Amino acid sequence: WDIDIPRETLIELSRDTDQIFDITMNVPDQVEAGVYMVIFQTFSEEPYTDESGRLTRLRFTQSIPVYVQEFYDMQITMDSTVDNAIKTSAPGRIVRFELNITNNGNVPDWPTLNNHTANRDGEALIWTELPGMGALDDWSVEWRLVKQIGTDLTTEEVCETVASLETVSGEEDAAIDPAVAFADLSDRCVYLESDERYFMPMMEPYTTYPVVAIVKISPSAKLDTRSIGLKVVSKMGNMLEGGDHDDSPSWAAENLDSNEFIVTLRLRAPNLVIAEVSVSDDTGDIDTTIPVRVILRNDGNTHATDIEIVLCEYPDASDKDTINEIRSNGCDDESIVMRQVIGALLAPDDSEDYKEIELILLYPVSAGSHGVYVVVDPSNEIVETQESDNIKPVEQELKSSGGMLDVAGEVIGKTALPFAVILLTFALFGVVYLVGRGRRQDVLDRKAEQSSLVSVLAGNDEL
């Protein structure tokens, strides 16, 4: 407190005279609401004896009560040394913004965190005063509370989800009192699902909480610059409701309040399009190649690098089920017959709709007829605004010049060796059988000779 008494202007007063002067009292910026007592004491130049018989120069005491009213002021800021309010990203990505919310009021407060969107009218932004994602379909903003768990260690606390709150009949439109509604979650941030609102825990006067706003960008987001308004709202509402003294519904630049903060996302991504696929001849000899002409375009707003493009071989040409299967699960490794990597494809400038290059992919001819599909970025490693135009079939089937004869020859070629092995095996079994049979006959003949000799010798003995 700074109290300025103009002592240098005080004059000597005789009996029954007075002097009027002004005292300036500066109340501190940070002082809690309440009644403060300021006591002024007037002293004479000479001492005198008071009622208790003591000498004193104190002649008069004046007590002045100072009433400091309740003051609500929520603020949201970003430390420029920690984070940046303008970021470049792409559709389908997640972007984080680190911010600080401060209760600059002199009473405890339970803030609510909201987000707002804007529509562009030429160079001007027209902000929606109601919270929500507005026209940004499939976008979302999640808030998390950052808590200190060590000297240099923090953790992000995911807000507790509460589906809905019970309401009393006739009080459906009554304001939510977080101190009562979330009494059992007093130290947690809460996401009220039914209202799509985030509530922070109670904040003492002049305290700051670090928070993180996590923006999830729609995979189908238009490549453009988008602004999102982040807002912290006092429990008591805005200035029109007797709450935050500088919280107005308007987001106009001249009315941007201290509880509002705008972040900007510049969406940049390539968009690869297979514009044309053609062949000059759909027939070739086996073990030769058929050139496949491909026109590849980039109509995104940034370049693409390390672009992989493959030729996939399937039984049927221009088959919708095959295209859907490739789009969902990619080409089977066994189906990929040719692979090529392109270093880079630049983005179009302001005078162009797209940049394009012409490629010649060589399809290795195999026996029979096959459907061939050109697929760019089969692993989906490049973030694009649209993935559905990354597949294009060769309209007609590509086939070998021999047709079914080539297929038959391939079948014979594949089965000839196994069949020859089988024949050789049977032949070996036959040789083994014949050799065994010959040896067995020799043994039987010898046995017969020995039996005959024994009979002759036995007859001689009898004679």
* pLDDT tens string 88-115: 999 889 999 999 999 999 999 999 999 9
pLDDT for 184 equals 83
List the structure tokens of 154: 């923090």
pLDDT for 151 equals 78
CA distance 281 to 398: 8
| 3-class secondary structure, 354 | coil
Render pLDDT for 367-384 as a digit per residue (tens, 0 to 9): 889 999 999 999 889 988
For residue 254, pLDDT beyond 60: yes
Beta strands in 33-149 (DSSP E): 34-49, 55-68, 74-77, 86-89, 94-103, 112-121, 124-127, 140-148
Kindly report which listed range (297-301, 313-317, 386-390) carries the lowest average pLDDT score: 386-390
Of all residues in the chain, what percent carry a pLDDT higher than 90? 48
Instruction: Report the mean per-residue pLDDT for the chain.
Output: 86
Rounded to an integer, the average pLDDT of 110-135 is: 88
CA distance 370 to 406: 13
255: left (phi over 0), alpha (psi -120 to 50) or beta: alpha
Rounded to an integer, the average pLDDT of 109-129 is: 88
CA distance 148 to 159: 16
For residue 429, pLDDT beyond 80: no
pLDDT classification of 455: cutoffs 50, 70, 90: low
pLDDT for 419 equals 58
CA distance 406 to 398: 14
CA distance 419 to 438: 29
Q: For 365, what's the count of Cα atoms within 13 Å in the CB-facing half-sphere?
A: 21
For residue 406, pLDDT beyond 90: no
Render pLDDT for 21-45 as a digit per residue (tens, 0 to 9): 898 999 888 888 899 999 999 888 8
For residue 410, pLDDT beyond 60: no
Higher pLDDT, 266 or 172: 266
Kindly report which listed range (154-158, 294-298, 371-375) carries the lowest average pLDDT score: 154-158
Contact 133, 141 (CB under 8 A): yes
Render pLDDT for 182-210 as a digit per residue (tens, 0 to 9): 888 888 999 999 888 999 999 999 999 99
| 3-class secondary structure, 415 | helix
Query: What domains can be seen in the chain, in order of their start residue?
Result: 2-68 (no CATH), 74-166+176-267 (2.60.40.10), 272-402 (2.60.40.10)
pLDDT for 229 equals 93
Contact 309, 375 (CB under 8 A): yes
List the structure tokens of 161: 């989800």
| 3-class secondary structure, 230 | strand
* DSSP-derived secondary structure letter, 321: H
The CA-atom distances, in angstroms, between 389 and each of 291, 317, 380 are 22, 17, 12
